[in-house]
């Protein structure tokens, strides 16, 4: 682990993946892979919260301080299968499916990160959670940033992985990236299997794509206003998010920690589950 002084407002950490064998050429290019998520253990409880015109699905695992998991765009709660056992050993894990994703329903409201953040807060209210930490991936990380900005009193810590703060942070090349394309194909299959509207994947993607075209749009002033502990995290080879954008976001958030996962991409939690889980738990445990 290498610590690099980058600015007074953040701590930068570079995580190196250790491989326990001498690889053949290309064998350690984990960032080029798209492993299937590990199956999660049986939940202690599952449920739906009727929130803002949608039914929001969630699962609960373990006990202790609350930890909310928020998946990325087009994903679902099963995306965190490889994280549940490690996290629930110490935390009460609430795994939430964003509106329209997985087993959650959607209505005709325009998608926005603020709307999805309000869904999360409503689930917290229903479960009587005054505060929680959040581990958010991609869109889930952006939802976490919205809560950090607008409802900091509900947040303990935020681990935002693969997030951006405005559309300029998304690489144009993501549209033709083969790994990302494979993820979208997998998401379509999962949608047909899990959704209450299994034949409406194209309509769902069209609806959420309108949000992606213009959001998020957090201003520098909003990021500078954040006072809760935040880790801005990404894979070294993220297919979707520009590295300079990630560094800029971390620099704008006072006291943030920037973590770059070596040899991993936007799908780091599947490519190297152990490193991802260890990194999350270490950050959450920092005082």
Could you report the per-residue pLDDT of 256-273, keeping only the tens digit for each? 999 999 999 999 999 999
The fold adopted by the segment(s) 45-285 is Rossmann fold (3.40.50)
Backbone angles phi, psi at 143, to 5 degrees: -60, -40
Give the separation between CA 133 and CA 67, rounded to whole angstroms.
5
Burial class of residue 171, CB neighbours in 10 A (0-12, 13-18, 19+)? middle
Q: How far apart are CA 207 and CA 231, in angstroms?
A: 29
CA–CA separation, 14 vs 235, rounded Å? 10
Q: How many CA atoms lie within 13 A of 92 on its CB side?
A: 12
What is the enclosing helix (H) or strand (E) of 263?
none
Predicted confidence (pLDDT) per residue in 133-151, tens digit: 999 999 999 999 999 999 9
User: pLDDT tens, 100-112?
Assistant: 999 999 999 999 9
Q: Where are the domains of the chain?
A: 45-285
């Amino acid at each position: 682990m290498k610590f690099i002084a980058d600015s007074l407002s953040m701590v930068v950490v570079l995580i190196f993946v250790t491989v326990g064998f001498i690889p053949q050429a290309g064998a350690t290019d984990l960032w080029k892979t798209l492993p299937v998520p590990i199956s999660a253990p049986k939940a202690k409880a599952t449920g739906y919260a009727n929130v803002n015109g949608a039914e929001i699905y969630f699962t609960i695992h373990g006990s202790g301080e609350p930890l909310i998991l928020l998946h990325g765009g087009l994903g679902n709660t099963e995306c965190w299968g490889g994280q549940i056992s490690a996290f629930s050993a110490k935390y009460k894990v609430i795994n939430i499916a964003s509106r329209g994703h997985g087993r959650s329903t959607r209505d005709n409201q325009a998608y926005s990160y603020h709307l999805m953040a309000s869904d999360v807060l409503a689930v917290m209210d229903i479960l009587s959670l005054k505060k929680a930490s959040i581990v958010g991936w991609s869109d889930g990380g952006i939802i976490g940033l919205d809560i950090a900005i607008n409802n900091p009193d509900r947040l303990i810590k935020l681990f935002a992985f693969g997030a951006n703060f405005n559309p300029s942070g998304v690489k144009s090349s993501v549209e033709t990236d083969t790994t990302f394309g494979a993820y979208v194909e997998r998401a379509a299959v999962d949608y047909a299997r899990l959704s209450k509207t299994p034949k409406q994947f194209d309509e769902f993607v069209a609806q959420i794509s309108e949000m992606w075209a213009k959001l998020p749009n957090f201003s520098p002033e909003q990021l500078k206003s954040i006072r809760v502990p935040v880790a801005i995290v990404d894979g070294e080879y993220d297919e979707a998010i520009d590295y300079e954008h990630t560094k800029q976001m971390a620099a704008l958030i006072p006291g943030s920690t920037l973590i770059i996962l070596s040899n991993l991409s936007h799908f780091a939690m599947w490519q190297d589950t152990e490193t991802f889980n260890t990194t999350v738990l270490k950050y959450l445990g920092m005082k």
